Amino acid sequence: MANVIVKIKVMPENPEINLDKLSEEINKKIIEFEGHIHKTEKIPIAFGLVALEIIFMYDEKKGDSEPLEKDIESIDGVQSVEVIDVRRAFG
pLDDT of residue 90: 78
Number of domains observed in the structure of the chain? 1
Q: pLDDT tens digits, residue range 15-53?
A: 999 999 999 999 999 999 999 999 999 999 998 999 999
This prediction's pTM: 0.92
pLDDT at 91: 64
CATH number, position 20: 3.30.70.60
C-alpha distance from residue 62 to each of 29, 49, 57, 79 (Å): 14, 33, 11, 25
Helices (H), the chain: 19-32, 66-73
The Cβ of residue 88 has, within 10 Å, a number of other Cβ atoms equal to 10
Structural domain span for residue 54? 3-89
